[in-house]
A and B are shown apart, each in its own frame.
Chain A
């Protein structure tokens, strides 16, 4: 799975299948130099690789989403962005990422010093994974990391389970051509509702 792959497990070549725990690479976006320093440390101390940028525009540049070819460096597993920034706000950045077929799988967390409910709702509706109230604490970062890791684990389960189901449906279809098939909806029944469910189905229908 190339597109949408967010975690790469390192399996050493030649024998021993013990897997080293993967490190999340986080892209942190904040126009405040003080906050960049703090979030960087919070993430590093939580065993994440961190890249900080000072604006939404720079974030898009880093991802290679700004029209210029050549995305830089490491794959990004999580984007943590401030909401209030000059130019592109965190919300604008969130929208651009969710509109991108390549990057929309990347979870985006919004940070804000203002506890404005409509703002929070707007971000969650647009697909933000979570919303952190500043000043960000170590407990917040730990929670987010656990959330992301758990989602990744669920995705892996969803993937293999859905693949088996699609395969058995295909086999059924092949044996009885008149049967109506329901590609895509069946997987939604058995799993707890998740924002990511829709995008998983879209991904699979493109594979069929």
Chain B
């Protein structure tokens, strides 16, 4: 595939993530923090997010599987995930966490289980999309090209 074609694909793909609400403007903030001196900043932060989230989701599953659910343990985990997803612009994950926290407050076990499924769904979706995005970027760089700056006109 031609370089120009790859760059166009990347731009279209990135744009679709914003239009679908998977990512929000905070992701653009992160991209602004990336430059020649820190060329991998975004993927580094996102990788940290994946590692952190895997851990949190695991803890959440364990906490909700207890005979008696300790909401004092569950809520801080959800709060953490809400925070980190917000920091990287993973909008749908963040929104799912907001709903989750409401059910925690109500001490609604059933609701919390449903929320955890929803959060996981959104998380795997953004993880998948971002991994694809980084692959596209890598292909461009490997072909000797530059990653085009995001056009903000949409």
User: A residues near B, CB below 8 A?
Assistant: 31-35, 37-38, 41-42, 45, 84, 86, 113, 134-135, 137-138
* Bound Cα distance from A34 to B88, whole angstroms: 8
B86 contacts A86, C-beta separation under 8 Å: no
A34 contacts B29, C-beta separation under 8 Å: no
| Contact A135 B33, CB 8 Å, known A34-B48, A34-B52, A86-B76 | no
* Bound Cα distance from A135 to B29, whole angstroms: 10
By secondary structure, the B interface counts as helix
Mark contacts of B23-39 with chain A using CB atoms, 8 A cut-off: 1 yes-contact digit, 0 otherwise: 00010011011000010
**Chain B residue nearest to A34 in the complex (CB):** B84
Contact of A34 among B38, B41, B49 (CB under 8 A): B49
Contact of A134 among B38, B80, B83 (CB under 8 A): B83
Contact of B87 among A38, A45, A84, A86 (CB under 8 A): A38
Instruction: List A contacts of B38 (CB < 8 A).
Output: 41
| Contact A38 B30, CB 8 Å, known A33-B52, A134-B87, A135-B87 | yes
B129 at the interface (CB under 8 A from A): no
**Chain B residue nearest to A136 in the complex (CB):** B87
User: B residues near A, CB below 8 A?
Assistant: 26, 29-30, 32-33, 38, 41, 44-45, 48-49, 52, 76, 79-80, 82-84, 86-89
* Bound Cα distance from A84 to B38, whole angstroms: 29
B33 contacts A42, C-beta separation under 8 Å: yes
Contact of A41 among B41, B49, B52, B86 (CB under 8 A): B41
Q: How far is the CB of B32 from chain A (nearest CB, A)?
A: 6
Q: How far is the CB of B114 from chain A (nearest CB, A)?
A: 23
A37 contacts B33, C-beta separation under 8 Å: no
Could you list 26 A-B pairs, sorted by A, with CB under 8 Å? A31-B80, A32-B52, A32-B84, A34-B45, A34-B83, A34-B84, A34-B87, A35-B83, A37-B44, A38-B30, A38-B45, A38-B87, A38-B88, A41-B33, A41-B45, A84-B79, A86-B76, A113-B82, A113-B83, A134-B86, A134-B87, A135-B29, A135-B89, A137-B26, A138-B32, A138-B33
| Contact A37 B86, CB 8 Å, known A32-B80, A84-B79 | no
A37 contacts B83, C-beta separation under 8 Å: no
Q: How far is the CB of B55 from chain A (nearest CB, A)?
A: 10
Instruction: List B contacts of A31 (CB < 8 A).
Output: 80
Q: How far is the CB of A74 from chain B (nearest CB, A)?
A: 22
B45 contacts A37, C-beta separation under 8 Å: yes
Question: Which of A31, A34, A41, A138 has the most B CB atoms < 10 Å from its CB?
Answer: A34
Instruction: List B contacts of A84 (CB < 8 A).
Output: 79
| Contact A135 B80, CB 8 Å, known A34-B45, A34-B88, A41-B38 | no
**Chain B residue nearest to A36 in the complex (CB):** B48
A32 contacts B87, C-beta separation under 8 Å: yes
Q: How far is the CB of A52 from chain B (nearest CB, A)?
A: 13
Instruction: List B contacts of A86 (CB < 8 A).
Output: 76
Contact of A137 among B29, B52, B79, B83 (CB under 8 A): B29
Task: Report the 4 A-B pairs with minimum CB-CB distance, sorted nearest first.
Answer: A34-B84, A135-B87, A135-B26, A41-B33
**Chain A residue nearest to B34 in the complex (CB):** A41
* Bound Cα distance from A113 to B41, whole angstroms: 22
